[in-house]
Amino acid sequence: MTGPAAVPRAYAAPLRAVDRTETVSDGPVTRLVLYKTVDPEDPYMAGHFPGLTLLPAVFVLEALRQAVTDLAGADEPLNLLEVRSGRWLAPMQGGDEIRLDVTVTPDGPGRLTVTADGVRQDGTPVAAVKATLGDRAAVLAARPPEDPPPAPADGPPGPDYTGILGLLPVRHPMLMVDRVESLDPGRQITVVKAVSGSEPCYQDLADGLPLSRYMYPRSLMLESFGQASVLLWLATGTAEGVPVAAAFRDCRFFGEVRPGAVLRHVSRIDRLMANNVFVSGQTWDGDRCVMTVGTLVGSSRPRERVDRALTAAS
């Protein structure tokens, strides 16, 4: 990491997700404007996608977390408690400047409701998000569902690691699935992701920080679940083009995940239609449910709709 991003950080984060912030109005309801230029040199970006730099949808969520954490001025960073809805409307390519118009509203002790609408520099809408952020007390107070952890996978094995590389259009360090435990094409997949302290999100953390600052970013956990879901979708043979996240709904997070955790994503297809898939599922750390996904919508788009350079050349 080079430049300003190399300054020691106070908590784990995949990248500096906000370049600058403007406060429009302050008070019980605060309005902000955030700016971020999609930089191919940022951590993780080299792997998303090779040959085509795209800002991952989840990094918009990370931008909201970082900006509102700075606004709150709290000792501990805020974290995602819930993604109520998120729609990603157009690709955000390398060099694009993204503007997010953000409203922050109190939502109970230690909780904030955050809404954001994003546009590219050409005025194209790119994102619409409604999420809940919370302080550490709110994170620890969130109670997971009482469902038992998934039984050991006994279905047919899925692709090995080289097979994963052959299917997913992401590479290190953005590749966030390590092993497919079981795969029932068209129905369900169980995928394992090990959280390592050597990942870029822990790079440049200041020395002497408390353990709480090593909490794995929830944006990356959601990205990892999304990649597991793409593997399940690709196994149906119905996805053509570039698979991208189109929407999230009712995603909730519980507890803290730190280096050494082994996450198990269980993703199920709820509906499959032309060029779109609807999935839901849970993520477990041992016997702890740490995330539930109400709906993730994936969309398969022709590459020329994703890469504007191809459109301009045609």
- Residue 152: the pLDDT is 72
Tokens linked to 206: 């200041």
- Residue 20: the pLDDT is 96
- Residue 148: the pLDDT is 87
End-to-end CA distance of the chain: 36
The single residue listed with the structure tokens 């996450």 is 263
CATH number of the domain within which 255 lies: 3.10.129.110
Give the DSSP letter of residue 99.
Answer: E
List, for residues 166-183, the tens digit of each pLDDT value: 999 899 999 999 999 999
Query: Domain tally for the chain?
Result: 1
Residue 149 lies in a domain: no
Residue 42 lies in a domain: yes
Q: In whole angstroms, give the CA distance from residue 20 to residue 6.
A: 17
Domain of residue 108: give its range: 3-141+155-313
The single residue listed with the structure tokens 């909201």 is 64
Residue 121 lies in a domain: yes
Residue 199 lies in a domain: yes
Mean pLDDT calculated for residue range 277-288? 96
Q: How confident is the model at residue 7 (pLDDT cuts 50, 70, 90)?
A: low
Residue 150 lies in a domain: no
| Catalytic residue positions, numbered | 48
Tokens linked to 66: 């970082």
Q: In whole angstroms, give the CA distance from residue 290 to residue 247.
A: 20
For 81, how many CA atoms within 13 A lie in the half-sphere containing its CB?
Answer: 22
The count of other CB atoms within 10 Å of the CB of residue 76 is 17
Tokens linked to 34: 């955030």
CA-based torsion, 226, 48, 46, 164: positive or negative: positive
Strand partners, 130: 85, 115
Q: In whole angstroms, give the CA distance from residue 180 to residue 106.
A: 41
Locate the DSSP E strands across the chain.
20-25, 30-37, 79-88, 97-106, 111-120, 125-134, 179-184, 188-194, 242-253, 262-273, 276-285, 288-301
Whether the per-residue pLDDT at 310 is higher than 60: the answer is: no
Q: Which residues, other chains included, contact 253 with Cβ-Cβ below 8 Å and sequence gap of 6+?
A: 79, 80, 81, 82, 139, 142, 218, 221, 290, 291
Residues 104, 206, 35, 138: what is their CA dihedral angle, to the nearest 10 degrees?
Answer: -20
Residue 256 lies in a domain: yes
List, for residues 67-122, the tens digit of each pLDDT value: 999 998 888 999 999 999 999 999 999 999 999 999 999 999 999 999 999 999 99
Helix ranges (H only) for the chain are 58-72, 136-141, 161-167, 218-234, 303-306, 308-313
- Residue 222: the pLDDT is 98
Whether the per-residue pLDDT at 50 is higher than 50: the answer is: yes
Residue 65 lies in a domain: yes
- Residue 314: the pLDDT is 42
Of 244-248, 289-293, 305-309, highest mean pLDDT: 289-293
The count of other CB atoms within 10 Å of the CB of residue 3 is 9
What is the reported pTM?
A: 0.94
Q: Which residues, other chains included, contact 300 with Cβ-Cβ below 8 Å and sequence gap of 6+?
A: 239, 240, 241, 242, 243, 244, 275, 276
- Residue 5: the pLDDT is 43
- Residue 303: the pLDDT is 66
List, for residues 120-131, the tens digit of each pLDDT value: 999 999 999 999
CA distances from 309 to 44, 51, 119, 255 (A): 22, 12, 19, 42
Whether the per-residue pLDDT at 301 is higher than 50: the answer is: yes
Residue 290 lies in a domain: yes
